[in-house]
Structure formats: structure tokens, C-alpha cells
Structure 1
């Protein structure tokens, strides 16, 4: 395998891991909302595996460079969720839960391919899938708009506060960009990501390495 082929293959492996992480995260939000009575995402064509419907350029670049990123949020009408408050909570954690499940299973693929000395690209794929999904989950739990953690926190406040919060939510986006591109986020959640990574890999190793 020459160097140019390796570069192309690495790019493909990275892209696939990235798209799986982002697309399934957003689909989890959309399908949870649909199950709870809100078909907004479905009507707007966002319940699709087409990655172009979910990608957010700054978020993708951030995920590639810093391992922390975000996607275009699936449109959700929280007023249509039944029950509303519990619905907001369930929809908010659906994407993060999907990422953690994906990361857990990816850890088994990662350990298996390393232990059995499989093709390096397989190990690389599972390693990326593991770290991207853990990072995406932990990052999205931060209570900063437009991340899922902010919606989770706001769901416990009175409806009037929620309305005002969502009105001004977009202005916090610049704070998020600042924290990411100054690498402040790495300091905040990096240790959490590393801890979860070690836990998942150790669990997988306990099953695979006898």
C-alpha cells in the first residue's frame, strides 16, 4: 500500500466515522420527537440518512480538528411533545444516548481489531468511531446553546423562561465558537472524554482478551 492510497483510505474512513456519528445523533432526536407526537422533522425531510441534511460546516470542522463538534439541529416543536416537559428531556438526551451506544460497540471493534492484528484501517475506523461518538456525546451535554445540554437544563424552568431562552438562543452560538476555537472546551471536557474512553475499552478488553 503506497502513501497516496493510505491518505485516500484514511480520509474515507474518517468521513464514514464522522457521518455515522452526526447522522445517527440527529436521527435519534427526530425519531424520539416523532414517537412523542411531533412530526416536524419528518415533514421537513430531516428523518433521512442523507448527511447533507444534517451537516453544519463549523461543527464538522470543529469535530475534525478538535474532536468536539455539532450538527444542524433537527427541527422540533416542543409544544407538540406529549408530555411536554418529559418530552423535551427525552428528545434532548436521545442523540447523546445514541452516541454513547455507538461508542460502546465501537470499543469492541477497536479492541478486537487491535488484539487480532487486523488491517490497520479497521482499527483506525473503530478508534475514530469510538472517540468521535464519546466526544460528540460529552460535548453536546454542555449547557450551552444550541447544544442538547442547554435544552435539558431549560426543560426544568417555567415555560415563560423557556420561550425567552429560545428567542435569544442563537446569540450564544458565538460564545460556543469562541470556547471551541480557543480550545477552552478541551480543558473542560477532555478529561471526561478520556475517562469514558478508558472505561469502554477496558470493558471490551475484558470480554475479548481472555
Structure 2
């Protein structure tokens, strides 16, 4: 057990709930990309069966495993052909942003549900506290993971969504120069994953920022649920 714990970044007691949260979060993220790409006139994702909430078509096993071990990973990227858009840059930005924003929305909705469960004494009032604890662990994992994915995917490094947004915003000459550095992105991520000192100043602060957003969401959610009375 100690050996397994040393491998996974996530505590083994929380691992099943975290894994379920990963599957849901990655699926929603990639579905959002596929849905808006198809909505704006690019049928590529739809033809590949990606406009669906079926996790089987979105989850990448290696990417999921690395998220559990290293703290970040990936799902199967949704192929997008921007040439099919009427306004390639604008619609490209929206399609790229749809993934992270879907994670932010999912985190907020889950936080609101959590606040309601507490406000109306659903969780505290459960006779089976083991079930209540399991619900809490899953909700906590789902919120924190989605907030992290929202922040992480907005980093302007390829192949993250933040880079694609910057690429669509940048003038053509700048865009061409940016594309010359795409080949080095894998090495940057390997450095982050392997070297603890680099990770400490890159990935770890993202978790701290996610916690700050979580607290703000929670306070706002308690305010909203308080409007409904006891």
C-alpha cells in the first residue's frame, strides 16, 4: 500500500472518487470542444463520433494515468478544421475556450449543489455517514479538478487551449513564429513533470489558485442557497 501511495499523487483513499472526477471532467471538456466546432460548421469531430458525452471516445489511458501520477494529463484531443468556420479566428477562439469554460461551469454548478446539500442538512443529516463522506470526497475532487483544468488549460503553451487562443489572436507573422516553437512543448512538460523544483513554481501554484477560486465559489453558493431560507 505504501508503494502504491508513493506512485500516485492522489491519496489512495480518494483515488476512486478522483478517477471518476477525471473521467467526467475530461469528457465534458472534450465534448464542449466538439459541440461548438460542429455548431460553427466543422463536422470533423461529429464524423469521428466526438459530439457525445460517452467517456469511451474521449478518455486517453496514458493521459489519465499521468494526471493521477504527475498531477496533469490529457484526454484525446478533438480534431478541429478551422477552415470550415465562417470566421476562423473568432470561432477558433470560442471553440478553444469552450473546453476550459466548461470545466469552470461544472465546478461552479457542483459547488452550488454542495452548498445546497449542506444548507438543507442533506449531507449532515444522513444516517449512513460513510455514504455522506463518499459524496463529499467525490464532490471535492470534482470541484478541485475542474478548477485546476480550467486554469491549467489556459496556459499559453502548445497543445493547451490557452496557446490556441493566443495563436488565433496573434497577427499572422507572430503566429508563424509561435508555430516554430511548438516542437519544444513536450520537453517543457517533461521538465515540469520530472524536476520537482520546476514543478514547485509552475504546477503547484495552480492548485493554490484553484483553492482560492473554490472558496469564492463556495461563499457565493452559500449566499445563493441562503436566499431560499432554511
Residue 157 (str. 1) matches residue 163 (str. 2): no
- In structure 2, C-alpha distance between the alignment counterparts of 1:206 and 1:86, rounded to whole Å: 36
- In structure 1, C-alpha distance between the alignment counterparts of 2:180 and 2:57, rounded to whole Å: 23
- Indicate the SS of the match to 1:155: helix
Structure 1 residue corresponding to 2:139, chosen from 110, 119, 126: 126
Ranges in structure 1 where 5+ consecutive residues have no aligned partner = 1-6
Residue 84 (str. 1) matches residue 88 (str. 2): yes
- Indicate the SS of the match to 2:169: coil
Residue 100 (str. 1) matches residue 117 (str. 2): no
Residue 169 (str. 1) matches residue 182 (str. 2): yes
Residue 204 (str. 1) matches residue 204 (str. 2): no
The answer (yes or no) to whether the contact 1:88–1:155 under 8 Å persists in 2 is yes
In the alignment, what sits opposite 1:148?
Answer: 161
1:8-157 mapped onto 2 (5 Å cutoff): 11-65=15-69, 67-114=71-118, 116=121, 117=124, 118=126, 119-157=132-170
Q: 1:73 to 1:166 in 2, by over 3 A?
A: farther
- In structure 2, C-alpha distance between the alignment counterparts of 1:48 and 1:166, rounded to whole Å: 30
The answer (yes or no) to whether the contact 1:144–1:176 under 8 Å persists in 2 is no
Q: CA RMSD in A?
A: 2.7
The answer (yes or no) to whether the contact 1:103–1:133 under 8 Å persists in 2 is yes
The answer (yes or no) to whether the contact 1:70–1:136 under 8 Å persists in 2 is no
- In structure 1, C-alpha distance between the alignment counterparts of 2:36 and 2:73, rounded to whole Å: 21
Ranges in structure 2 where 5+ consecutive residues have no aligned partner = 1-10, 127-131
TM-score, length of structure 1 as denominator length? 0.83
Q: CA deviation at 1:12?
A: 4.2
